[in-house]
Amino acid sequence: MPIYIMASRLTDEGRKTIKERPERIKEVNEEVVQMGAKLIAQYAILGPYDFINILEAKDDETIVQIAIQLGARGTLQMETFAAIPVDDLVKKLKK
């Protein structure tokens, strides 16, 4: 199944929500699962992003739908990247 990396920044509204209800992070994770992705890992990070999520989804359309639905809420901004396992890349390059 394809792997995606979703880097997100909280907006002012998102920071307010997380401060008041930190459990909202886990609630959103469950919503992402219900939208068709599997959450492999999630990290709160320092730097230009607040969170990095590693997800599996059946296709690009599923991950785009998730990104649009989450982004439309106005609580975060995201960048999403398709990720290719290095072993898979090496196999393709050898062909």
CATH number for the domain spanning 9: value is: 3.30.70.920
- Number of structural domains the chain divides into: 1
Tens-level pLDDT at each residue, the chain (95 residues): 999 999 999 999 999 999 999 999 999 999 999 999 999 999 999 999 999 999 999 999 999 999 999 999 999 999 999 999 999 999 999 98
Instruction: State the Cα–Cα distance between residues 76 and 50, nearest whole angstrom.
Output: 9
Whole-structure pTM value: 0.90
Closest CA to 4 of 47, 34, 44, 42: 42
Expressed as residue numbers, the domain containing 60 is 3-94
